[in-house]
Amino acid sequence: MDSSNSSLIVSGSEAYEAFALDKSLWLNLSLIVMIVLGSVGNGLCCYAVAKYKFLRTVPNFYITALCVSDLIMCVFVLPPMVFNGFHEDGWVLGKLICRLWIFLFSVGAMSSILVLCMVSVDRYLSIATPVKYLKYRKPRIALAVIIGGWLAVVGISVVFTRQAYHANGCYLGSPTEPYRRLSLCMFWIPTTILVIVNVGTARAIWKINRPRRIGPARNPNVPRPAPVHNQRDVQADVLEMQQIRSDMPSCSSRRSTTMRHPTGVKADDATMANIPGPSFSKEPQRVASSAAVTPVTAPVDRRQQQDTDLRPNQQLRIEDIIAARRKKSFAMIAVVVGSYIVRWLPFFSIILYSKQHPEVYQTPVAPWPLVASLWLAFLNSTINPIIYASMKRDYKRAMKMILRCRRA
């Protein structure tokens, strides 16, 4: 078999000869680099959540589930490809390993996009319906949702193993109709959901922040009049500030700002104290009953009156923190989702193309688009930890603490 041929299969019969995965040295070396970087990066993210309590939040649980999906790809899917890449005699690992390999590939790919749907929906509900969603936004509920999703993915992935092994080949793609239908459910439907949900989140953030950007230019010497807030703004702000307080370090050695409240209270504490809703202490508190959420539904006039009790720079600080956190959190989710879609789109486009043109499985085609699409898809598992560490402050802090061998 020519070493320059490639395919959606690991190796196969003569009918698939033009599609065999490239055996060139550069491809195998690049896959080895992905294995090392992806395993270390995703492993550190999982270890950080297990080690540091301040990372054990609902959004971070979803991110950890995504890291586990990427670990499956880096630890269990890529190594057999590299091992088989150095052999010219077809699939050498046997029928059982072939089916297990296809099963793990399906679990890793489907669980990734499913978790992305979960975290996108979680972010949208946190913005659109904060009070109603707050009582359901618990770590144990998030874990139950993640486990349920993984069980569904495992059940669906079993179907892929039936088409995995033929003669001396282990197929990553199949020209059969069931495989094409499953690929539709595996990528195109969740991708559509991701796009719709993230567009809705962007619109919700823009609508909430829009009233605060209207008016004359800010003059630090002139107090700004109290902004007009509707009930939805109040609810969203309470949830956002609760998350901000829960993400803040609990160490007593944290530096305090020099800005003071007139009564002698630090501006940071005064800012938190003047927000209606659940009280914000030095440690995160759970909302144990509906009574804790009752202050959120206070009249708008009370919010406006409390806004006027704050100094202008304190008031600006609250609104700037809330607006910046919403935008930054959504930006990270959008980058992760966009990265996944861009890197997996070529692979599933080929599967969709084969539905209308089944001859691609019998007729030789240009090999590089096929092997490049698969290589690009695996690259996604290596990129995600870099995105988390660069765009999420708590993960960046945890990574620094791990590298410096420090405790929380």
> CA-CA distance, 284 to 22, in Å (whole number)?
53
- Residue 251 has a pLDDT of 42
Backbone angles phi, psi at 266, to 5 degrees: -60, 150
Low-confidence ranges of the chain (pLDDT < 70): 1-24, 88-90, 160, 162-169, 171-180, 184, 209-329, 354-355, 357-368, 406-408
pLDDT at 75: 94
Distance CA 42, CA 144 (A): 22
Distance, in Å, from the CA atom of 385 to the CA atom of 45, rounded to the nearest integer, reads 7
> Could you give the 3-state DSSP secondary structure of residue 130?
helix
Q: Map tokens 């406006």 to a residue.
A: 304
d(C-alpha 95, C-alpha 370), whole Å: 24
DSSP 8-state code for residue 77: I
pLDDT at 205: 81
Q: Is the dihedral of CA 125, 127, 130, 135 positive or negative?
A: positive
The answer to whether the beta carbons of residues 176 and 104 sit under 8 Å apart is no
Single pTM value for the model: 0.69
Residue 335: exposed, middle, or buried by beta-carbon count in 10 A (0-12, 13-18, 19+)? middle
In this prediction, residue 90 carries a pLDDT of 65
| Predicted local distance difference test score (pLDDT) of residue 245 | 53
The phi, psi pair for 170, rounded to 5°, reads -120, 110
pLDDT score for 62: 93
pLDDT of residue 293: 43
Helix/strand/coil for 299? coil
Look at residue 269 in the predicted model and tell me its pLDDT.
39
Q: Within 10 A of 53 (CB to CB), how many other CB atoms are there?
A: 11
How many residues in total does the chain contain?
Answer: 408
pLDDT at 239: 54
